């Protein structure tokens, strides 16, 4: 019984967002391997940066991050065509990218746009710049989509259609039930 009580105490530390984020990372690696994507790291990065507390926030963040990924890719291609890896262009490109996204009121896309831009600008390894940028962009978008799907399907927060009619405390009960079933799944004996 002591093992179950110890696991129960983790309830306040291990929530469904924690579990869904880890699951999104694992599924991202699996999908990247299954579909022979160029960089599982960027698939995972897209998934991790896009996991949110609610389905609605996840979808909104996903859309913003897809836009940021595309914008970071475009600015990355332009700067790499001028001089790949140039520190001064890295600085100017970041300033331009952040300014442009602020003007467009796409603040939620800034972090992802900057990640994609820096990856393209700093790690450009392909002779075909457009293909390289396209692959990094697609890898990131795949991760974003995985994150949205995981958030929508697995224990959706109270804003989703699956959770309609639930009380505020039922989400806590779902987490508690999930955690309490873990020992059964991994065959922990009392």
pLDDT bin (cut points 50, 70, 90) of residue 11 is low
Residue of higher predicted confidence among 26 and 9: 26
Mean pLDDT of 80-105: 93
Whether the per-residue pLDDT at 67 is higher than 60: the answer is: yes
Give the whole-angstrom CA distance, residue 150 versus residue 19. Answer: 10
Q: Which residue has the tokens 């004996």?
A: 189
Q: What is the pTM of this model?
A: 0.68
Copy the structure tokens of residue 119: 């990856």
Indicate the range of 11-20, 62-71, 134-143 predicted with least confidence. 11-20
38: buried, middle or exposed (CB in 10 Å: 19+, 13-18, 0-12)? Answer: middle
pLDDT bin (cut points 50, 70, 90) of residue 1 is low
């Amino acid at each position: 019984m002591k093992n179950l009580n110890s696991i129960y105490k983790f309830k306040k530390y291990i929530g469904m967002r924690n579990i869904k984020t880890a699951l999104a990372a694992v599924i991202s690696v699996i999908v990247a391997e299954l579909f022979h994507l160029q960089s599982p790291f960027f698939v995972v990065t897209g998934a991790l940066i896009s996991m949110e507390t609610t389905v609605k926030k996840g979808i909104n963040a996903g859309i913003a991050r897809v836009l940021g990924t595309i914008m970071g890719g475009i600015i990355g291609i332009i700067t790499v065509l001028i001089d790949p890896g140039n520190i001064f262009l890295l600085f100017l490109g970041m300033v331009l990218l952040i300014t442009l996204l602020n003007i467009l009121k796409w603040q939620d896309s800034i972090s992802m746009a900057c990640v994609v831009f820096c990856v393209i600008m700093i790690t450009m390894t392909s002779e075909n710049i457009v293909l390289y940028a396209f692959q990094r962009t697609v890898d990131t978008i795949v991760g974003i989509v995985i994150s949205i799907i995981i958030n929508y399907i697995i224990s959706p927060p109270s804003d989703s259609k699956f959770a309609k009619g639930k009380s505020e405390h039922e989400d806590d009960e779902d987490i508690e039930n999930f955690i309490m079933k873990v020992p059964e799944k991994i065959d922990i004996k009392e």
